Structure 1
């Protein structure tokens, strides 16, 4: 059997694609995450695995670098697209649209890798964000595509913060980790945190730290308690502190400080992006993480003591 043939080699690469959402290359971690997603929703679990397999298979068949494919770097954006479209579209055909979106995400990922190859910045979740936003805007003009009723354009002039004032910080902190995969279930969040610790105790502690820093920052800035309790200010911070740790090198003395800074600035960026998108009824997705990480990685080009490894 040739190196690129057969179905079984797709499995570990696809599981790594699931774990690469949190910048971890570990098939076991991906399996734990898949279990957490499936416990939340069987349909979501099936779509997650199928999206990872589709992303990996298309990248391999179309001639992408084999090492990159095996690392799951061509499928994690497909995973996120599949999950996001399943949750944000409505109707009996939403899973078909979700898997089609997961397939197209591979092409968008390859295109953005090419376009950004000289920028010195990683594409991260940019392909998933852009494609998902475009697809979620299409139902306004395409009758056979239906949006989730929760995606309602907001009039900012009439916007009011939620009056909920009961802070549920324990569950809010756990949900902030699960929300990376759109999971609002505490037990699923705990399982994902376990999956992170399985790959790296350091990253597990970083996940807790980044989420806690974001929670404190958001609370101090007067964020909506309802959003705090749902963990919606935490997941971008977790991804940011992971990305800074990965691209800036764990041995550099300023890495942790930059990671903490990134987690903090992800909070006002989350609020700003959410406000900007409200009139269009679009979710922020991981755009705050993307902007926070790009800010830090770009700044190091001028602030030369912020040493960053090549990527």
Structure 2
């Protein structure tokens, strides 16, 4: 009987730990739900099995760092030490090449978990969420170091360009359906329609409100980018959509205003704002060959969430 109880306790602990890992993945889309995390992991693995494994290992690293570091159990169980590590691991494994790529990506996931603790400590004092800021900074720094460190090799997809010769190409037919599913897919750097469908399913599984707001956020980004004359190829690839989706969820529902009736409106404004922010950050980073990542989401969300400390109706 005693041995059976010990075995049940171990199985329960393992199951709970797996749930935490999956929440670490789902928190990338501001969701605390293990089943949603599983659906997201499945979406990543459909696109690339190795990328799915990287996401799981990165979530494991972030969670273990939180546990061994003595972080608040509630923060760990919610997956708050996993999601930034997940994004860093995925991004570095995609944007770097060479035999050290996986080691660097997993090391980046480890560094990000520690940096997450620092950022969480600072942002709590000013009453704004850390969001994906740790992932952005660590990823940018590691990618930039490749210009000085031979062991780090940038992917050919990240090519520095001279702004003097920069031209805006607006041509071609827009496949709106592809843009819809690519938008949410790009949150995890996925360009695959089936993966996008599963990601939307993961969001709706968590809450129908999350799902509806994700669709609205993506639609607003597509329309705004098109009206403002963004490059059609980038609209189709979802590069204007993913930050908008995250911003809508963050501002309108996850970190909503005390005056709930104003949350949706401020979410809409913040979502639209991500489009020009994405364009400006992208052009700023072109000479370095860096991707904008989720910085537009962070900046737009911080503006509205932070300002609510003084302007609660926003």
1:30 matched to 2:37: yes
Unmatched 5+ residue regions in structure 2? 1-5
Once residues 164 and 150 of structure 1 are traced to their aligned partners in structure 2, the CA distance between those partners, rounded to angstroms, is 21
CA-based RMSD: 1.6
Q: TM-score, normalised by structure 2?
A: 0.94
- Match for 1:280 among 288, 300, 304? 288
Once residues 304 and 170 of structure 2 are traced to their aligned partners in structure 1, the CA distance between those partners, rounded to angstroms, is 34
1:155 matched to 2:195: no
Pairing of 1:214-293 with structure 2 (within 5 A) = 214-244=221-251, 245-248=253-256, 252-293=260-301
Partner of 1:138: 145
Q: CA deviation at 1:210?
A: 0.3
Q: CA deviation at 1:163?
A: 4.6
Q: CA deviation at 1:10?
A: 2.2
Once residues 310 and 122 of structure 2 are traced to their aligned partners in structure 1, the CA distance between those partners, rounded to angstroms, is 22
Partner of 1:72: 79
Q: When you count helix as a share of all residues, which structure comes out higher?
A: 2
Q: Is the 8 A contact 1:10 1:57 kept in 2?
A: no
How many pairs were matched up? 305
Counterpart of 2:130 in 1: which secondary structure?
coil
Q: Is the 8 A contact 1:10 1:53 kept in 2?
A: no
Counterpart of 2:173 in 1: which secondary structure?
coil
- Match for 1:91 among 68, 92, 98? 98
Q: CA deviation at 1:116?
A: 2.7
Q: CA deviation at 1:157?
A: 1.1
Partner of 1:48: 55
Once residues 198 and 170 of structure 2 are traced to their aligned partners in structure 1, the CA distance between those partners, rounded to angstroms, is 31
Once residues 250 and 177 of structure 1 are traced to their aligned partners in structure 2, the CA distance between those partners, rounded to angstroms, is 28
Once residues 14 and 114 of structure 1 are traced to their aligned partners in structure 2, the CA distance between those partners, rounded to angstroms, is 22
Once residues 251 and 304 of structure 1 are traced to their aligned partners in structure 2, the CA distance between those partners, rounded to angstroms, is 7
Q: Is the 8 A contact 1:60 1:69 kept in 2?
A: yes
Q: CA deviation at 1:154?
A: 1.1
Q: 1:189 to 1:232 in 2, by over 3 A?
A: same
Once residues 258 and 104 of structure 2 are traced to their aligned partners in structure 1, the CA distance between those partners, rounded to angstroms, is 40
Partner of 2:311: 303
What are the Cα deviations for residues 119-141 of structure 1, in whole angstroms up to 9, with x where unaligned? 11111101000000000011111
Of the structure 1 ranges 60-69 and 295-304, higher mean CA displacement relative to structure 2 is found in 295-304
Counterpart of 1:9 in 2: which secondary structure?
helix
Unmatched 5+ residue regions in structure 1? 307-311
Q: Is the 8 A contact 1:237 1:266 kept in 2?
A: yes
Q: CA deviation at 1:261?
A: 0.8
Counterpart of 2:261 in 1: which secondary structure?
coil
Q: Is the 8 A contact 2:169 2:231 kept in 1?
A: yes
Once residues 85 and 50 of structure 2 are traced to their aligned partners in structure 1, the CA distance between those partners, rounded to angstroms, is 16
Once residues 16 and 94 of structure 1 are traced to their aligned partners in structure 2, the CA distance between those partners, rounded to angstroms, is 25
Partner of 1:100: 107
Q: Is the 8 A contact 2:183 2:237 kept in 1?
A: yes
Partner of 2:171: 164
Partner of 1:198: 205
Q: CA deviation at 1:304?
A: 3.4
Of the structure 1 ranges 131-140 and 7-16, higher mean CA displacement relative to structure 2 is found in 7-16
Partner of 2:20: 13
What are the Cα deviations for residues 182-234 of structure 1, in whole angstroms up to 9, with x where unaligned? 11101100110011111111111111100000100000000000000101000
Once residues 80 and 234 of structure 2 are traced to their aligned partners in structure 1, the CA distance between those partners, rounded to angstroms, is 30
Counterpart of 2:125 in 1: which secondary structure?
coil
Of the structure 1 ranges 293-302 and 55-64, higher mean CA displacement relative to structure 2 is found in 293-302
